[in-house]
Amino acid sequence: MSHKQTVFADRKMVLRAIKDSFIKLDPRIQVKNPVMLLVYVSAILTTLLSILAIFDIKDSSGGYTLAIAIILWFTVLFANFAEAIAQGRGKAQADALRAAKKDVIAHKIPSLDQRDMICDVASTALKKKDLYIVKAGEQVPADGEVIEGAASVDESAITGESAPVIREAGGDRSAVTGGTTVISDWLIVEVSNEAGESFLDKMIAMVEGASRKKTPNEIALQIFLIALSIIFILVTLSLYMYANFSAKLAGIVNPTSVTTLVALLVCLAPTTIGALLSAIGIAGMSRLNQANVLAMSGRAIEAAGDVDILMLDKTGTITFGNRQASEFIPLQGVSADDLADAAQLSSLADETPEGRSIVVLAKEQFNLRGRSLSDQGMTFIPFTAKTRMSGVDIKGEEIRKGAAETIKAYVQENGGIYPKECDEIVTRIANMGGTPLVVSKKYQVLGVIYLKDIIKHGVSEKFADLRKMGIKTIMITGDNPLTAAAIAAEAGVDDFLAEATPEGKLAMIRDFQRQGHLVAMTGDGTNDAPALAQADVAVAMNSGTQAAKEAGNMVDLDSSPTKLIDIVRIGKQLLMTRGSLTTFSIANDVAKYFAIIPAMFLTIYPELSALNIMHLHNSQSAVLSAIIYNALIIVALIPLALKGVRYREVSAGSLLSRNLLIYGLGGIITPFIFVKLIDMLLVFFHLV
């Protein structure tokens, strides 16, 4: 369903929700929501009273009691519908995931040394630690870690993203998910989960709400609502006793019926938020699912709303992840053309993004075009971890590029001179947050290539918005402190952790938590697992290792590190929606006092007509109007509960003031208007 459509636009989903609304009338389901259980019991009671009234010829209130009973049943059904329509989105997504989950044949092997001894078994027969081989065109039969091979994998069935991804042994891109498809090459995988406990199984259970548990905040609010309901039960009983006592003093029969008392109780109890509370929580998780994030617990979503420390990876989050050549800086006596020419020649075979950017920069600035790897007389020297440099031998001349210390040692070992000027340029680039690559030709240093981290467009504004929200941003990077400081200043983050280690990340998170902060972070590697396990909101990348996904309490299916900012917004929106509708629900009761209390006591105390400021037609009209409004407001608020209150990047104080004005004052004024309109309609159609 498109996010631009209303929640009622999907006819199939609405019909399923209506069916589920009746199924949820089961007492075993109703008892899970104590506030609505009160309405449920009231509906049963008034139904019985209406049946008795029908058989009692002397009782003329049968029609009134039956009307109250019908309205109360609709109130319960509307509450069930709100929850069912919220669950409908998750069920639709779960159906799509089940379609992707198929039993396939797995090519099981005994060990790496016995890979030719393939035994074909059903994917459901695979157990944890089993090994299987999967080839191009085949579906991955079970979750696991790649222990050998590299392949292109189509994960669109899980993520919705059509572009294939690379999965390979070692590193942080080794996890594969059952239900995805290998497009090229082959993989040997070690199964990481038992049958029925796969990532896809967990995801299906979560998105359809089957594994959703109430969060601490939700439980606390429900306890508060139960306490309010108990208070209103006592108030209602006290009013009845008071009305009975006053009627005896006046020498008249108590005009307050049990039906009216039940209607008063239902109207005064916080039924609106009680009916929508579950839907708000489910919808929050659904919004997260629509953002392609799987929350392993509702607690994590709420924690995201309260986060005040955000720890973000530099690479891929703040920067594009690939350093780009931005300038050729020649030494004195060397022309920029000669430096660019040598730099491009040394990079022709360099397939890294940095190497490609050097070739492109030389083309753009110095029009060096037409060269290719097929040119005669070139011997390319690839980069290795041991030599830490790369280059080309052409016509007896050696051209090399690499880290300053590496080129310095290379030049000096071959009788060349490493000039002090080069050290000064290297230091200056490092202080600016860049990466210097020194270029030499025939053991003579020509100059330096300035590689620069490219800051993503708009991140500075995003961090400014987060600052307004009271969230401190911390950049995590393996760079040296000077480089980290320069990038942090350009990006606009509040702090940074340079030369980050697993121990350093963990220590920083614990330190903030000891100070009372809630910390969110993102990670994808096994080395991130300890910090992810410690963080209050831990977002693991789906492309990352199994250890990272197990340590996190959320998994980003898109593997986009910037998603953490969206998660915080969704969490805050969930808390705001719950708070706003709770305020609206409680504020609603004010108008109901003015509608029902005068109606109850008007016969005994005619002076109470002064409180009938809405000038409702009569006592039955007043009660019916209030209880009809009480039912209809639930349906009216379902779209808001599912969509969520609009979130703005402003301070908590400003948000509170705005929401009190809209939902507090609005909650007081709205029922006065609509209760009066309903009363007028009842009179117009001669229903009272």
In angstroms, rounded to a whole number, what is the distance separating the alpha carbons of residues 405 and 675? 81
Asked whether residue 591 is marked as a ligand-binding residue, the answer is no
345: tokens are 């020649």
576: tokens are 């705001």
- 3-class SS of residue 176: strand
Residues in Cβ contact with 91 at an 8 Å cutoff, skipping those fewer than 6 apart: 16, 208, 209
Asked whether residue 528 is marked as a ligand-binding residue, the answer is yes
16: tokens are 């399923």
Contact between 438 and 426 under an 8 Å Cβ cutoff? The reply is yes
Instruction: To the nearest 10°, report the CA torsion of 239, 245, 246, 252.
Output: 120
379: tokens are 């011997």
Catalytic residue among 154, 313, 479, 679: 313
In angstroms, rounded to a whole number, what is the distance separating the alpha carbons of residues 90 and 106? 30
In angstroms, rounded to a whole number, what is the distance separating the alpha carbons of residues 501 and 530? 11
140: phi then psi, degrees, rounded to nearest 5: -70, 120
293: tokens are 């994030």
Q: Computed from CA positions of residues 573, 574, 579, 584, in that sequence, does the dihedral angle turn out positive or negative?
A: positive
In angstroms, rounded to a whole number, what is the distance separating the alpha carbons of residues 582 and 107? 55
In angstroms, rounded to a whole number, what is the distance separating the alpha carbons of residues 681 and 688? 10
Please give the sequence-ordered ranges of beta strands (E in DSSP) within 453-500, or none if there are none.
472-476, 495-497
Relative to beta strand 119-122, strand 105-109 is: antiparallel
Asked whether residue 354 is marked as a ligand-binding residue, the answer is yes
Q: Give alpha helix (H) positions in 169-215.
A: 199-207
- 3-class SS of residue 252: coil
Asked whether residue 10 is marked as a ligand-binding residue, the answer is no
Pick from 364, 426, 167, 484: nearest CA to 356: 364
Asked whether residue 218 is marked as a ligand-binding residue, the answer is no
- 3-class SS of residue 343: helix
138: tokens are 């085949």
Active site residue 313: yes
Asked whether residue 103 is marked as a ligand-binding residue, the answer is no
Asked whether residue 643 is marked as a ligand-binding residue, the answer is no
User: DSSP state, 162?
Assistant: -
In angstroms, rounded to a whole number, what is the distance separating the alpha carbons of residues 59 and 244? 19
39: tokens are 């309405």
Asked whether residue 389 is marked as a ligand-binding residue, the answer is yes
For residue 495, the cross-strand partners are: 474
Asked whether residue 99 is marked as a ligand-binding residue, the answer is no
Tokens 């079970």 locate to: 142
Over its C-alpha atoms, the chain yields an Rg (Å, rounded) of: 34
Asked whether residue 386 is marked as a ligand-binding residue, the answer is yes
Contact between 75 and 266 under an 8 Å Cβ cutoff? The reply is yes
For residue 327, the cross-strand partners are: 450
Pick from 219, 220, 258: nearest CA to 237: 258
Asked whether residue 401 is marked as a ligand-binding residue, the answer is yes
Where is the binding site for ATP, in residues? 350, 354, 383-390, 401
- Residues with active-site annotation: 313
Where is the binding site, in residues? 350, 354, 383-390, 401, 524, 528
Where is the binding site for Mg(2+), in residues? 524, 528
